[in-house]
Amino acid sequence: MVESTHIEYGLKSLLLFGQCHDLSHSTPPNGLQLVLDRSKSGSETPDTGAESAEIQPDGSQQLTGSNQVVAQKESTDTVVMKTAGYWQLRANPGVWKLRIAEKSRGAEIYNMVEGSVGRSGKVQLSKKSLESVSKILVMKDFTN
């Protein structure tokens, strides 16, 4: 007799990842602190008498028996690795804002710019590269 076992897996979060480069020294910005956050719109005072909540496609929660959406702030942070400038952050699908941590040493030294890695392996700034405080990232699927 063959017995079967039912196993159910749940996905807790996905990872956004990337690389940072210090263009003035051609090295990774060792120890640079990055923050990924988003604010979910909704009611300031959710109905606390609700028995359960339903997760919407944008990550917000719809309370059962109520038309109010829970107001919630999501945030995660990391430090850039010295070896290759690699960073990774946990995130669920949605629109996120990546920025250098406020009031950190990195915020005093670095700015974010748009660029890509060329054939030579060097970072090339895009023609419309402007310094910015943050970058909008969209996680919409597994392949991104």
Domain for residue 59, yes or no?
no
Q: What is the dihedral of CA 28, 78, 60, 70, to 10 degrees?
A: -140
pLDDT tens-digit readout, 15-47: 888 888 888 888 889 889 999 988 554 333 343
Is 28 domain-assigned?
yes
Residue 64 lies in a domain: no
CATH of the domain at 95: 2.60.40
Based on the structure, what is the number of domains in the chain? 1
**Which residues constitute the domain of residue 95?**
14-40+73-139
Query: Is residue 27 situated within a structural domain?
Result: yes
Quick check: is 121 in a domain?
yes
Residues of the chain with pLDDT under 70: 39-73, 127-129, 143-144
Residue 1 lies in a domain: no
Query: Residues of 63-73 as b/e, b for ≥16 C-beta within 10 angstroms?
Result: beeeebbbeee
**Pairwise CA distance, residues 61 & 49, whole Å:** 14
Which tokens is 37 given? 């956050």
